[in-house]
Amino acid sequence: MLKTFRIGGIHPPENKLSGHKAIENIPLPAQAIVFLSQHIGVPAVPVVEKGDQVRVGTLLAKSGGFVSSNIHSPVSGKIFKIDSVADSSGYKRPAVLINVEGDVWEDTIDRTDTLKKECHFSSKEILEKIAVAGIVGMGGATFPTQVKLLPPPGTKAEVLIINGVECEPYLTSDHALMLEKGEEIMVGISILMKAVLVDRAIIGIENNKKDALELFEKLSRNYPGITVQSLKVQYPQGGEKQLIDALIRRQVPGGKLPVAVGAIVQNVATAYAVYEAVQKNKPLIERVVTITGKKLGKPCNVRARIGTPVGELIDYAGGMPDGTAKIILGGPMMGKALTGTEIPVGKGSSGVLLIPSPEAQRKEMRNCIRCAKCVSACPMGLIPSYLMSLMEFNELKLAAKNAITDCIECGSCSYICPANRPLLDYIRLGKGKVIKK
């Protein structure tokens, strides 16, 4: 039977233009821009200097604290400079700029394609390897994986949940990766199970990816403990809390981590990165990115090195179409509009989406008609219309009481609102203010 989460949800048009397309390797950029903060938490501290020669996989910056992550060079060449560069938000952030020369890899990295199934490392060693490789959650939240796999004292994980949902419209990078690297992902999952000491894992895949579902059902027969669950298509099923509800029917209490209900959630792309880190000694230096858009010449999935400017990806996919009004890094629901094409791909960039002019424009906001569509759509059971009014009058205490901090910023409320009210904008603002307080 098809499962799905029980509260809220919406059904935006899927528009998976690049589905079923194989992953292509994109040419190396002339210059790679590697931000020191590609993860949630403390920015990494650079260990290289201007003028240094680096290889692919050389450590550029080491983790700057407990919630932080290592950053490795995605290319080989010379460090051009370490400077502040405008990131996807237009604010300047420290980054390492590398002029690319050739493609020389570190000797420790196993670059062969052979599948390495056996893993003899202990849980501690696996976590160590994951931390060293700088792996972060690749679904978009970019939370350092080694921290997520280490439940706070007093809690115990019972089940590992693997997120193969990819509920964002347009995006197909996880889908492509699942079709191409199924076996590797399965090994990655068994490594993750070993790391968090659980004997059960569930892979959740929405049933619009029938081929991936079939493949994983076939593969899972050889891996005891791992099951595959087909899910009804619904946004935001890829949200951690929604996926837990859909698969094991448990609700994570407000303000708590998923491990409070015994679950740890990891993305399929993260599982693949873990496989590469543990079995092949390969740090996180490249990822699969979907380049898509209704007017784009050749929507496709590419394997791009971290630090490749978005502009080069767009050129590869047929160039910027006329009338493009918005470039979005990520999916249309939760992605971020970019201010230029020089912004590089980061560890959490799952897609580049080009939206043509009429569709990109926001419609004029009208008064709330109290239809409560946002209330039905909210997957966290909040009252978005009320929270927005509270924030218009800066009522922080009341907003906190109404669990504004539980918002997962999925944007379902703004999407569904017939009066085009910017519900999420105000809720996000309030969430920030309440947390700060």
By CB under 8 A, name the binding residues for other proteins.
84, 86, 88-92, 336-337, 339-340, 361-362, 365, 422, 425-426, 428-429, 432
Closer by beta carbon to other proteins, 77 or else 430 = 430
Closer by beta carbon to other proteins, 84 or else 122 = 84
Closer by beta carbon to other proteins, 80 or else 105 = 80
List the one residue out of 42, 79, 36, 44 whose CA is nearest residue 62.
Answer: 44
In the bound complex, what is the minimum distance in angstroms from residue 10's beta carbon to other proteins? 20
Cis amide leading into 236 (omega within 30): yes
Q: What are phi and psi of 274, to 5 degrees?
A: -65, -40
DSSP single-letter state for residue 187: H
Closer by beta carbon to other proteins, 99 or else 394 = 394
Closer by beta carbon to other proteins, 14 or else 395 = 395
For 43, other C-beta atoms within 10 Å of its C-beta total: 19
In the bound complex, what is the minimum distance in angstroms from residue 84's beta carbon to other proteins? 7
In the bound complex, what is the minimum distance in angstroms from residue 295's beta carbon to other proteins? 19
In the bound complex, what is the minimum distance in angstroms from residue 287's beta carbon to other proteins? 23
In the bound complex, what is the minimum distance in angstroms from residue 426's beta carbon to other proteins? 7
The answer for residues whose C-beta is within 8 angstroms of residue 70's C-beta and 6 or more apart is 44, 59, 61, 62, 63, 131, 132, 133, 134, 283
Distance between CA 260 and CA 151 in Å, rounded? Answer: 9
Closer by beta carbon to other proteins, 199 or else 425 = 425
Closer by beta carbon to other proteins, 17 or else 427 = 427
Q: What are phi and psi of 183, to 5 degrees?
A: -60, -45
SS3 278: helix
In the bound complex, what is the minimum distance in angstroms from residue 341's beta carbon to other proteins? 11
With contact defined as beta carbons under 8 Å apart, do 132 and 139 qualify?
A: no
Residue 411 tokens, joined: 């944007």
Element (H, E) at 226: strand 226-231
In the bound complex, what is the minimum distance in angstroms from residue 374's beta carbon to other proteins? 16
